Structure 1
Amino acid sequence: MKKIAVVLLVFLIVASTNDKANAVDISKLTKEEIEKLPKEELLNLPAIEILSKAMGQKNFDSVFILFMESMLSDLKFYNKLLSGKQSLELDKAIKDFQKSIKSKPTGILLVREFDELTNRIDQLNPKLITASRASVINVDNLVHAQGTWVFENGSLASPIQTSKIHCNKQNMQCMEAVAKISNFDSGSGGQILNLHIDYLDITKWDVNEVVAEESSSLCVAYTLTINLKEKKAFKFRRRKAEVDEMCKGIATKPQILKLVDGFKVGWDFHKKREKKALEVINPEYTKHIEKLKAAFEK
């Protein structure tokens, strides 16, 4: 079933490069011709016809229907046994789903609606991903720190992120490796794992703290401070005076980040995603459950 969503994503990526829309008879088009359709036009075509061409399978209808039944069942729009056959119950479930996303309830799932359906399934069961605990260790001429960076006001640029910092007094340099997972709740696009390494020049090292500077980034510069007494680490981030066009979206006001417990950050983020997952379920089902809860609490 995941293969179907991936095939659709590929079609949408290819189609996104086209911008001329024309009326189309899908039955007369080849797979290659469908890939050349403008994205906006492709999004408003029946998903079953597009995917049938994309998969190149005979008798694809039953596979697609089974796929829809499964997803609509998970989202509490459909409560019958999966059959792979069209039915009045499935037609109603599709219409109810279309209503929930403010689409016209036709009973025929369009590509954009199918994409939203798979997106909601991806959000339905968020996985718990956590990072390492925060720590600062000072041994002779070496300092090691690890944790997850958050802004001092509590906001998160990358909730699933972990950093490890190694500072060496002999060469007066710190190396920081940062790994993060981004692109959450993006639907069939999936998540992206990024890793980057920065080198910082140490400007101060005494019994109280280590201070290092990093200015190789295009848009911002950082001052890293590791407090050896309190076992804490901070970063002072500021936008560079001469910035590239790409940097305009970055805040001009300096910001302070602190290195905190990655497990707690990951856990809190997971709980928020669990709460958000409830929003993708059939709203009528949610109302019914709330009524049942209220009845039991009386």
Structure 2
Amino acid sequence: MRALVLSLALLAFTAASAQPAAPPANWRTMTLEQLNALPKEQATQLPVIEFLERTDPNFGREKMEPIVATLLSRLMYAIDRPLYPFGAFLGMAVREFQDDLGAKADGALKFSEMEVLASRVRALDRTATPIFPPFKTDVHVSPTNDYVAFGGTWVIEGDKHAYPVNFTTYKCFKSEKLCYTADGNLIMSSGSGTMNVDSGFLKIIKWDNSELLMEDDARCRVTTTSVNLKNKEVLQITRNRDEGCDATWLPPLTTPRISRLVDGFKANQELNQKQAEINQKNFSKRFQEIAKKSKN
């Protein structure tokens, strides 16, 4: 089990690892403690299946081969070979995958390569079964201009939102000088997701016939939301507080961050389309060539 914990830690580290460096030639005779002490850039170059086979009798080749073979087959590697027996399929599929990555094609899948493979399959799954937030709720202003309600999905200009599947509703009361909010966002992880929901309120700092302004004065950042009551546009600007924030807890923004409230269904549809185009390029290059020729 300790070996399995180490292997999962290696996968988590891979995306941020430095240039690959070959592990020691004698790694097969090293203890688990010695393996744990390896520099991360070396540890991520250990062969996944052989490592687990040697260090964890409960999670060896017979369990890993079907997993790796299934992932490779999802991306159309070794498409002219039968998937089973797994060993024969893996020999060709792993080398083909390594060739596509520009890595040494030795047929032994490394932890760093495994993470690339798994992340591409996860992206494939997300676009195959996309999740969309609700449609945007247009700004509604009461006839007496004392109540405003609206809702939508926040997107950040020039940047990616950490949780693109998000939705927030607002109900604002002039008499209370408050806007009540209810928001939800989907936190995606490997093969699963968690829906986070929350509620709160924002203080109204301006409300006239043309604009409603509300503000959230948080610990490190101040967020001001502007609702144009004429053209129904909703913008948000987030800036650093002048003082009172520990930069080690939340790094300051380099520039003010501007967000727009949009139709989440349409925004995520566009994101999924872009990801689908990327996914097409992540299939086996040999498969892509075959598919291209079949169209001509």
Q: Same fold (TM over 0.5)?
A: yes
* Percent of aligned positions that are identical: 26
Work out the CA distance in 2 between the residues paired with 1:146 and 1:236: 17
- Show the counterpart of 1:39: 40
Report the counterpart of residue 149 of structure 1 in structure 2. Answer: 154
Displacement of 1:100: 0.9
Specify every segment of 5 or more residues in structure 1 that has no aligned partner in the other structure, as ranges: none
CA–CA separation in structure 1 for the residues paired with 2:42 and 2:107: 19
Partner residue, 2:18: none
Counterpart of 1:26 in structure 2 is 28
Query: Which residue is equivalent to 2:140?
Result: 137
Q: Is the 1:172–1:202 contact (alpha carbons within 8 Å) kept by the matching residues of 2? A: yes
Kept in 1: contact 2:78–2:96 (CA 8 A): no
Match of 1:287 in 2: 289
Matched, 1:119 2:123: no
- 1:9 to 2:8 alignment: yes
Distance 1:36 1:154, change over 3 A: closer
Correspondences of 1:1-298 after superposition (within 5 Å): 8-10=7-9, 12=11, 24-26=26-28, 29-30=31-32, 34-35=35-36, 37-52=38-53, 56-57=57-58, 60-79=60-79, 80-87=81-88, 89-126=89-126, 127-135=129-137, 136-139=139-142, 141-151=146-156, 156-158=160-162, 159-181=164-186, 188=190, 199-218=201-220, 220-242=221-243, 245=247, 250-252=253-255, 254-293=256-295, 295=296
After superposition, what is the alpha-carbon deviation per residue over 1:121-140, rounded to whole angstroms, capped at 9, x for unaligned? Answer: 11223231211222223457
Between the aligned partners of 1:194 and 1:272, the Cα distance in structure 2 is 25
Contact kept in structure 2, 1:26 and 1:49, CA below 8 Å = no
TM-score (norm: length of structure 2): 0.77
After superposition, what is the alpha-carbon deviation per residue over 1:172-192, rounded to whole angstroms, capped at 9, x for unaligned? 1123344334568xxx48667
In structure 2, C-alpha distance between the alignment counterparts of 1:221 and 1:138, rounded to whole Å: 26
CA contact (8 A) 1:210 1:226 kept: yes
Give the secondary structure class of the aligned counterpart of 1:245. Answer: coil
- Structure 2: state its 5+ residue gaps: 16-22
> Is residue 11–residue 35 contact of structure 1 (8 Å, CA) maintained in 2?
no
Q: How many residues align?
A: 278
Structure 1 residue 277: deviation in Å? 0.9
Q: Match for 1:250: what amino acid?
A: L
The RMSD of aligned alpha carbons is: 3.5
- TM-score with structure 1 setting the length: 0.76
